[in-house]
């Protein structure tokens, strides 16, 4: 697996200042969300007035949409800066698959992308935070589905392997694959950086950063590989001891 680019450099240390910055960012985002809530509230009041002209209505709708987008961005930033606390504990991925599959269809369905699952049982318990692992998976799946939607007839494949089948052992290995154009290694490396995106300004460009930080906080390795027209994301999830 040496040809994978891993997000190991994005693992946050446990220095004494980390807690300070977590506290600072959480407070800042809380205050910012309060301001966005006021903007959303007043724009909603404006839109309730049927007598306003089309220009005012359009401006109010833009205010409301922008305020919601800012709130969504704030939520993503919490994960991408290590402020989303991870409480790793033994869990069974098999128990979460129904939820994962349902949300995967909600993500990929509107893009007209099929999701194909290959789950090799039995899968042993792993050490992870159930909620945060799901967030990492959905970030990666969303990236894969959006890329696959640009290749007619393409799909996303999700593989889950027990220890020793896809790697040397000690981890349950999750792979997410999609067709894509060729991406150079240096470009692929930049995708881990915050606000880097190849998908236009409508994307925050922070999903892969959040996935990297959350994975690192759970001692999960996240790697990317682009080869022969296929992008592969690999999560090596430690088996519960």
Q: What is the arithmetic mean of pLDDT over 37-63?
A: 90
Residue 2 has pLDDT above 60, yes or no: no
Mean of all residue pLDDT scores within the chain: 88
pLDDT in tens, 163-215: 999 988 899 999 999 988 777 777 778 878 877 766 655 666 788 888 998 99
Both 21 and 116 in a single domain? no
In a domain, residue 56? The reply is yes
When divided into structural domains, the chain yields a total of: 2
Both 158 and 216 in a single domain? yes
Residue 50 has pLDDT above 90, yes or no: no
CA end-to-end span of the chain: 24
Q: What is the arithmetic mean of pLDDT over 50-57?
A: 89
Residue 110 has pLDDT above 90, yes or no: yes
In a domain, residue 202? The reply is yes
Check residue 192 and give its pLDDT: 80
Check residue 161 and give its pLDDT: 97
Q: How far apart are CA 147 and CA 165, in angstroms?
A: 27
Domain of 133? 87-238
* Residue that finishes a domain, picked among 80, 109, 135: 80
Higher pLDDT, 204 or 69: 69
DSSP string covering the chain? -TTSEE-GGGPPP--HHHHHHHHHHHHHHHHHHHHHHHHHHHHHHHHT-TTS-HHHHHHHHHHHHHHHHHHHHHHHHHHHTT-S----EEE-HHHHHHHHHHHHHHHHGGGT-EEEEEE-SPPPPEEE-HHHHHHHHHHHHHHHHHHHTTSTT-EEEEEEE-TTTSSSSSEEEEEEEEE-----HHHHHHTTSTT--SS-TTS-S-HHHHHHHHHHHTT-EEEEEEETTEEEEEEEEEBP-
pLDDT in tens, 212-230: 989 998 999 999 998 888 8
pLDDT in tens, 119-132: 999 999 999 999 99
In a domain, residue 4? The reply is no
pTM of the model: 0.81
Both 69 and 99 in a single domain? no
Both 74 and 168 in a single domain? no
pLDDT in tens, 139-156: 999 999 998 998 888 899
Both 109 and 178 in a single domain? yes
Between 61-65, 98-102, 151-155, 182-186, the lowest mean confidence (pLDDT) is in 182-186
In a domain, residue 8? The reply is no
Higher pLDDT, 202 or 38: 38
Both 43 and 107 in a single domain? no
């Amino acid at each position: 697996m040496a040809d994978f680019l891993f997000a190991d450099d994005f693992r946050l240390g446990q220095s004494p200042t980390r807690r300070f910055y977590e506290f600072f960012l959480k407070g800042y985002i809380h205050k910012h969300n309060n301001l966005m809530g006021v903007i959303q509230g007043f724009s909603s009041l404006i839109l309730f007035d049927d007598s306003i002209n089309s220009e005012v209505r359009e401006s109010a709708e833009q205010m409301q949409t922008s305020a919601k987008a800012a709130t969504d961005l704030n939520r993503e930033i919490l994960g991408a800066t290590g402020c989303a606390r991870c409480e790793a504990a033994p869990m069974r991925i098999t128990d979460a698959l129904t939820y994962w599959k349902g949300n995967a269809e909600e993500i990929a369905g509107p893009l007209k992308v099929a999701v194909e699952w290959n789950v090799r049982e039995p899968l042993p318990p792993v050490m992870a935070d159930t909620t945060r692992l799901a967030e990492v998976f959905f970030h990666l799946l969303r990236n894969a589905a959006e890329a696959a939607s640009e290749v007619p007839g393409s799909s996303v494949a999700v593989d889950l392997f027990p220890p020793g089948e896809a790697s040397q052992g000690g981890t349950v290995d999750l792979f997410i694959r999609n067709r894509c154009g060729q991406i150079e290694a240096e470009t692929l490396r930049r995708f881990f950086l915050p606000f880097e995106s190849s998908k236009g300004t409508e994307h925050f460009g922070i999903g892969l950063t959040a996935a990297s930080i959350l994975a690192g906080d759970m001692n999960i390795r996240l790697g990317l590989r682009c080869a022969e027209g296929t992008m592969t994301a690999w999560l090596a999830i430690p088996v519960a001891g």
